[in-house]
Every structure is written in structure tokens, then in C-alpha cells.
Amino acid sequence: KAFADREAFDEALIECIDVFTPDLVVLAGFMRILTEDFVSHYEGRLMNIHPSLLPSFPGLHTHQRALDEGVRIHGCTVHFVTPTLDHGPVIIQAAVPVLDTDDEDSLSARVLAQEHQVYPQAVRWFAEGKLCLEDGRVRVTAELDDSARLISPVLH
């Protein structure tokens, strides 16, 4: 609110972040739409997590929307950020079944448990140089050990 507009805020945010010369910028719970200039500045090194199996259910209220649509599988997605909201090359996804007894809170809790596993895994892969972007898709550039094979859905 201290800035004239979104662009001014994002410019100031870039200045603050760049002091640290980060290899990766990790968003978590940052409920603000970033400008295209901000996203472009960190292209290929700006990561986010979303509580759905993107491209399904971008935006807010993902768990309730999944219940309302009657999907049988829901989950979360870690992705590189692009200017399009909740879109971008998928790094890792985890899936959970949607149970007949689920409500928004119970489904959210199961998805959150998976978020706590896959987000650190994605950051680890990036830090270890095991991820790269090729033609808008994430590629694994090194062999992953068996404990890291979470790319396919995790059903709990």
C-alpha cells in the first residue's frame, strides 16, 4: 500500500531480492499477482506451489472447486512461474484421492501434507542442478535416486 501501483511495488521487490543475488526465488503463500516484468526478471528461477493438479483449478478455492466438480483425484503442483496466473512448466506434482467423506478442510489437509514433501524436493532438485527448462518444459538432467521419484502421483 506504500507504493503507487503494482509495478512500483514489484520494482522495489526486485531491488530487495537482487541484493542477495539469488539463484532461485521461491514463492510460498505469496497471494499477490506479480507483474510480467517481475516474472520475466526471474525467468527460469521463480518457483511456486499451487494446491491443485494444474492446469485444473487455477486461482482460489481449489479444494472446494475440486469437490464441487466431483473429481476423484486432487493434489498440488510445483511449477516455474510464468506471466499467466497459476501456469508454467510443471516441476513436480503429488496427487491424493478425493474421498466421499471429504470436505474442504479434510481434502486441504491431505494436499498440504503432500505440498510439504514435494516443494522441498523441487527446490533440492534445482539446487543440485537436476532441473532445466527446455522448450518450455522441465527436464531432469541427472539420474534421481529412488527416494526422489515423486513425479508420478503419490496416493495416500
**One of 41, 50, 74, 79 is an active-site residue; which one?**
50
Centroid of chain to Cα 49: 2
> CA angle 120-46-63, nearest 5°?
65
50 is catalytic: yes
Phi and psi at residue 61, in whole multiples of 5°?
60, 40
The whole-angstrom separation of Cα 113 and Cα 30 is: 19
- Region of 66 please: left (phi>0), alpha (psi -120 to 50) or beta: alpha
Active site residues per annotation: 50
